Amino acid sequence: MRFRSVIFAMAVSAFCVTDGLIGGENDPMDAIQALAEKVIRNPYDLESFYKVQSFTNSSEYWLRFYGLEFVGQIGVRRPELRSKAIPILVRALNEETDQAMLRETVISIRDIGRIAVEAASLPLTSIVQRGEERDVTCFAAQALGKVLDPKLLGETVKVLVMAIAKPPTIGVQVEAPAVRYYALDALVEIGKSGAAEVLGPIKVREKTADPYFEKRLLGAIRKLEP
């Protein structure tokens, strides 16, 4: 099983953890991944799940990072455990400030799907509202495209419409990934579901867009028009 955090493995020094989980020169990712794989093979192995969960509260950066990542992977792979995994991920979005942890947590929530996205709608919309051109903001906007709950759609669409109105970043090529592109895709996803009317706000933005984004807006309009 391949996990996103493999790319970080070489950057992690050895930790010594009680209970015999990690020690000596063992990579902490290996031990936490082994526990996660046990849970994914057997979702009734709650003892292993709670051990993975315990790392999300660690004061050690990498233990907490991997704990959150693998809780997310368990949530993605085992629907039976989403009721346990999602609150942990939502709490992390509300409490964490580290960009890497936020990014991996948002990706996990996005990949779990609607149930996780709607549970995390408040912190996700807050991330998008901050308007920072970061990958975590792009992924948060992308995730919001999965919202279907009528109680959440009004604020979700409002935030995404504000995001597509954000002007290009000075000095950055317009073809480069940007929050507004992810927000537009999310609006199209919501519009195609029939959950909310998004065509009007997109057409309004078309009139004031730069030429490159105008083409993307026209493509979105074609997808949404009857």
pLDDT digits (tens, 9 = 90+) for 159-189: 999 999 988 778 778 778 899 999 999 999 9
**Diameter over CA atoms, the chain:** 63
Average pLDDT, the chain: 87
Query: Is 210 within 8 Å of 168 (Cβ atoms)?
Result: yes
**Can you tell me the distance from the alpha carbon of 67 to that of 149, in angstroms, rounded to the nearest whole number?**
29
Q: Which of 50, 61, 83, 63 is nearest to 17 (CA)?
A: 63
pTM: 0.86
What band does 11 get if pLDDT is binned at 50, 70 and 90? very low
Domain residue limits, the chain: 1-112
pLDDT digits (tens, 9 = 90+) for 38-86: 999 999 999 999 999 999 999 999 999 999 999 999 999 999 999 999 9
Q: Which residue do the tokens 């906007």 mark?
A: 141
Sort residue 19 into left (φ over 0), alpha (ψ -120 to 50) or beta: left
